[in-house]
Amino acid sequence: MATFYSEEASNKRNSLAMALVVVVVLALFGYLIGYVVGAGSGNEVAFGVGALMIAIAIGIAGGLGSYYSGDKLVLSSSHAQAVSAAQAPMLYDVVGEMAIAAGIPMPKVYIIDDPSPNAFATGRDPAHASIAVTSGLLSRLNREELQGVLGHEMSHIRNYDIRFTLIVGVMVGSIALLAQIFLRYTFWFGGGRRNNSSGGGLGVILLVVGLVMAVLAPIFAMLVQMAVSRQREYLADASSVELTRNPVGLENALAKISLDPTPLKVANGATQHLYIVNPLKKLGGGASLFATHPPIADRINRLRALSNQSPLDATELSQLQGRA
């Protein structure tokens, strides 16, 4: 178990490094856009630096907006309703237990009226955090399994995954926005002054590079985000076991959530990575490049290893991999 938890420090360093990579890509892409726009004018560098500053400003503005109000937007778009201890006593009780175990303040508690079992955490830090669960999760899971799920979400809060997810999500969106702006500019205005006799050849080359970047940059940024999300899911699973001292509860919960065929209607591409199990593609044997979560079978087998259980047998594995 010590080896499993030793990934925590490494994952945090890797996550920070990936966030910095996204910032660098955002800045470089902004500079390239400006350089292409100013190609042939003699002020290419000035155009590039100006666009770089605008790109960084967009990222910072989006990050600040996400930092202070991103969680409210996520909860609102998910149709999550705040509940009191009187309305959901067992849920409140288990959330309180896990908060004490994690050593963090009690987060706000929300319920999403949806029969599909799932849950997520959001917020900017442990003092400003919220946990949302679906009504389907409460109806299908017993207390032990609910502890495993809420321990997982509490770990995301304690490890500051919720802040990282909000900010990186906005940064990735900023890169996609810049790509769209550049593509629309080249379509409508033909790349500005790139055809001038003073810089036509260079302008054409830069335009081609810019177009390639416009296509690849958002894809690259999404890959970074997805890779970080997968690593943090493994870490949150391990941290949940640390809090509950019971890997079986989370193991059974993951299987139940994954095998439930009910679609989560409020989920979308912008929020899918927040949930404990991907609500848009709950199952599936392998992890694609764009998967926001590790394969369920891998997560369950890691949990089984903690309690010295044998890995999933062929029948169990087939059930988890057979319904995408």
C-alpha 98/C-alpha 311 separation (Å) is 27
> 129-134 and 108-112 as β-strands: parallel, antiparallel, unpaired?
parallel
Q: Which two tokens stand for residue 185?
A: 């500019």
285 burial type by CB count under 10 A (0-12 exposed, 13-18 middle, 19+ buried):
middle
Which helix H or strand E contains 129, and what residues bound it?
strand 129-134
Residue partners of 241: CB distance under 8 A and separation at least 6 = 1, 151, 247, 250, 303, 306
Amino acid identity of residue 245, one-letter, is R
Amino acid identity of residue 29, one-letter, is F
In the beta sheet, which residues pair with residue 112? Answer: 80, 134
Residue with tokens 């764009």, as numbered in its chain:
290
Handedness of CA 233, 130, 67, 104 (dihedral sign): negative
Q: Residue 117: left if φ>0, alpha if ψ -120 to 50, beta else—which one?
A: beta
Active site residues: 153
